[in-house]
């Protein structure tokens, strides 16, 4: 998933949101409601490419996106997904991604103006997420993988670094996909640059160094 669909967050969130209607409507996760969304809004607002030392292993924990019209056709929505089933390892020339689709939490902030007359309460009554708010809806939904999705996948592909630009060869197409990054202490930020497919979408993934 990580390397085959190196549009980073756009592809990752599309995968999970496509299955959203099948999710449980429980509370999901132990963190407070809105914490993932606040972390995403902070990362999207304050990201600045700084480069740094990528070598080592990282656990990717947060995927963020705003400006995508696939979510209720609302380009003003912000989507945050907190998960824990993916690690990536950079060894200087090859990047190895290990993906286990794990349970997580999806949160989104949706302006009521996008809901075509519906309310936050109406979204909650749909049964697959819990929402609150008036001018904008803060919604939270647990994401549970299907049993057949729980097997670990491993993908290995070459990468190069030029300053704060990370170029990874797509496993699926063989084409180079360029992203900007910043390592701050033990935190890694990967920002998806605009492409023909992601034009107008801001997308970032955040991970923590394991070793």
- Domain range list for the chain: 9-209
Please give the pLDDT value at position 148: 53
In contact, 11 and 177? CB cutoff 8 Å = no
Q: Domain 9-209: give its CATH architecture.
A: Beta Barrel (2.40)
Please give the pLDDT value at position 165: 95
Instruction: For 121, list phi and psi in degrees, rounded to 5.
Output: -60, -40
Please give the pLDDT value at position 197: 56
Please give the pLDDT value at position 152: 64
Q: How many residues does the chain have?
A: 211
139 bridge partner residues = 108, 131
List of residues 6+ apart from 162 with CB closer than 8 A: none
Contacts of 128-132 with C-beta under 8 Å, sequence gap 24+, read 128/20, 128/21, 128/22, 128/23, 128/25, 129/20, 129/23, 129/25, 130/25, 130/27
In contact, 164 and 51? CB cutoff 8 Å = yes
In contact, 151 and 78? CB cutoff 8 Å = no
Which residues of the chain register pLDDT less than 50?
1-30
The continuous run of DSSP H or E covering 131 comes out as: strand 130-132
User: Each residue of 116-141: pLDDT tens digit?
Assistant: 888 899 888 877 788 889 899 999 98
Please give the pLDDT value at position 8: 40
């Amino acid at each position: 998933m990580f390397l085959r669909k190196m549009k980073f967050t756009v592809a990752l969130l599309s995968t999970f949101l496509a299955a959203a209607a099948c999710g449980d409507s429980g509370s999901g996760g132990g963190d407070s409601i809105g914490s993932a969304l606040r972390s995403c809004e902070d990362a999207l607002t304050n990201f600045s490419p700084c480069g740094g030392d990528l070598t080592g292993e990282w656990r990717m924990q947060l995927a963020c996106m705003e400006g995508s019209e696939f979510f209720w056709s609302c380009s003003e929505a912000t989507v945050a997904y907190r998960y824990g089933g993916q690690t990536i390892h950079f060894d200087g020339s090859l990047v190895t991604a290990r993906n286990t689709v794990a349970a997580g939490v999806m949160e989104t902030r949706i302006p009521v103006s996008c809901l075509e007359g519906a309310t936050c309460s109406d979204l909650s009554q749909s049964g697959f997420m819990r929402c609150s708010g008036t001018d904008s809806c803060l919604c939270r939904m647990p994401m549970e993988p299907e049993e057949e999705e729980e097997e670990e996948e491993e993908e290995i592909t070459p990468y190069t670094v030029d300053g704060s630009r990370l170029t990874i060869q797509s496993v699926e197409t063989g084409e180079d996909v360029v992203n900007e990054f910043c390592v701050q202490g033990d935190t890694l930020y990967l920002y998806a640059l605009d492409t023909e497919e992601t034009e107008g979408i801001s997308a970032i993934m955040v991970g923590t160094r394991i070793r």
